[in-house]
Amino acid sequence: MDTLILEIHTPGLHRYEVIDKPRIRIGRAFDNDIILSEPTVAPYHLDIIRDDDGHIELHNLTDVNPARFNGQAKKSISLGKLPIDIKLGRIEARIVLPSQSVADTKTLPGNGQSQHWFSHAFWGVLLITVCLIVSAIDFHIHSFTNYKWDTLAKLVARETALYLVGLIFFLAILERLIFNRSEIKPLVVVISLSYLMFQLITPLVAELNYIFTSHLPELLFDITWYAILMPFIASLYLIHIYHQKRSNSAWLAMLLCSPLIILSAIDVTQVLGYLDSFSAAANYHRDLSALNWQNDVTISIVSFIEHARLLSPGVVSD
């Protein structure tokens, strides 16, 4: 029999051992041929024995977490059709022929250009700086007192910088847990771009609210942002940075964004429920705009009173 390959699945890149000796012993003890430093692997877990005729037998050496061959617990097996899956404690492995075909090479999107851009520290630093400037402008627009520069800087540092750093830190940990690695630079770029997009769209949505004297644009934006755009961005990130399959990335993105989706769904449900449930407060459209673009025509007082005559009372709640 030819030389065989033992493929040991470990987080990150797999480990490959050549099986070309008459006897190879696998276990956690240091005198094994292949050492697996995994607590669920026994000190002497598996023997791979090749006889003079080239036949190979696999012998289980432990009663604790015994080795499983193609999912079945057996004392020993003769090696027949390859590949064969082996489970050693929590470690998954398989024996393959060197001629075993491998998956096609995944091409980098845009010939690797996008990864290059996303992974460049310059863009990360630039975008974070833009985020902080935009945040400072936002604080300035929403402040009605005489802020000094140092107060504004403290506010930006406390509110925005801390928030962005916290988010990047949290997602980096998540990356490490899922993929056993963290891509900090692309993460910074994507989070910064998302933040900037949000800061840009929000005032536009408020303007649309005023133009149509309605809260529908805000409601639609909430649904779109949290249930569609955020998972879409996360999915793109998984495809481009972690080379996940499209279907896998979509599911994983939905899973990662599920807290946001659930929160936005609760929010929308509350808004819709709010319209039906009783409220002692009058909920009228209060938005005002410096641009003062409005879809409704301005009417005379007499015309207003004629319209007002048709206003019915609100619904009585059960």
Q: To the nearest whole angstrom, how small is the minimum distance from the Cβ of residue 310 to another protein?
A: 9
What dihedral do alpha carbons 13, 18, 24, 28 form, nearest 10°? -10
Q: Which is nearer to another protein, 92 or 138 (CB)?
A: 138
Q: Which is nearer to another protein, 149 or 284 (CB)?
A: 284
Q: Which is nearer to another protein, 23 or 140 (CB)?
A: 140
Q: To the nearest whole angstrom, how small is the minimum distance from the Cβ of residue 206 to another protein?
A: 9
Give the three-state DSSP class for 249.
helix
Could you list the residues that contact another protein (CB under 8 A)? 140-146, 213, 278-290, 292, 294, 296-302, 304-305, 307-309, 311-318
Q: Which is nearer to another protein, 106 or 309 (CB)?
A: 309
Q: To the nearest whole angstrom, how small is the minimum distance from the Cβ of residue 196 to another protein?
A: 18
| Run of H or E residues at 275 | helix 246-276
**What value, to the nearest 5°, has the Cα angle with vertex 289 and ends 283 and 294?**
85
Measure the CA–CA gap between 254 and 220, rounded to whole angstroms: 19
Reply yes or no: is the peptide bond before residue 83 cis, omega within 30 of 0.
Answer: yes
Q: To the nearest whole angstrom, how small is the minimum distance from the Cβ of residue 291 to another protein?
A: 9
Q: To the nearest whole angstrom, how small is the minimum distance from the Cβ of residue 224 to another protein?
A: 23
Residues 6+ apart with CB under 8 A from 287: 206, 209, 210, 213
Q: To the nearest whole angstrom, how small is the minimum distance from the Cβ of residue 287 to another protein?
A: 6
Q: Which is nearer to another protein, 97 or 275 (CB)?
A: 275
Q: Which is nearer to another protein, 180 or 279 (CB)?
A: 279
Q: Which is nearer to another protein, 139 or 242 (CB)?
A: 139
Say if CB 270 and CB 188 are below 8 A apart. Answer: no
Q: Which is nearer to another protein, 13 or 302 (CB)?
A: 302
Residues 6+ apart with CB under 8 A from 263: 226
Q: To the nearest whole angstrom, how small is the minimum distance from the Cβ of residue 288 to another protein?
A: 4
Q: What is the maximum span of the chain, computed from C-alpha positions, in angstroms?
A: 108
Q: According to the 3-state scheme, what is the secondary structure of 44-99?
A: CCEEEEECCCCCEEEEECCCCCCCEECCEECCEEECCCCCEEEEECCEEEEEECCC
- Strand ranges of the sheet holding 34-35, from the earlier edge strand across to the other edge: 34-35, 23-27, 46-50, 56-60, 76-78
Q: What are phi and psi of 314, to 5 degrees?
A: -70, 175
Q: Which is nearer to another protein, 177 or 290 (CB)?
A: 290
Q: To the nearest whole angstrom, how small is the minimum distance from the Cβ of residue 270 to another protein?
A: 15
Measure the CA–CA gap between 79 and 99, rounded to whole angstroms: 17
Neighbours of 285 (CB within 10 A): 11
Say if CB 60 and CB 75 are below 8 A apart. Answer: yes
Q: To the nearest whole angstrom, how small is the minimum distance from the Cβ of residue 209 to another protein?
A: 10
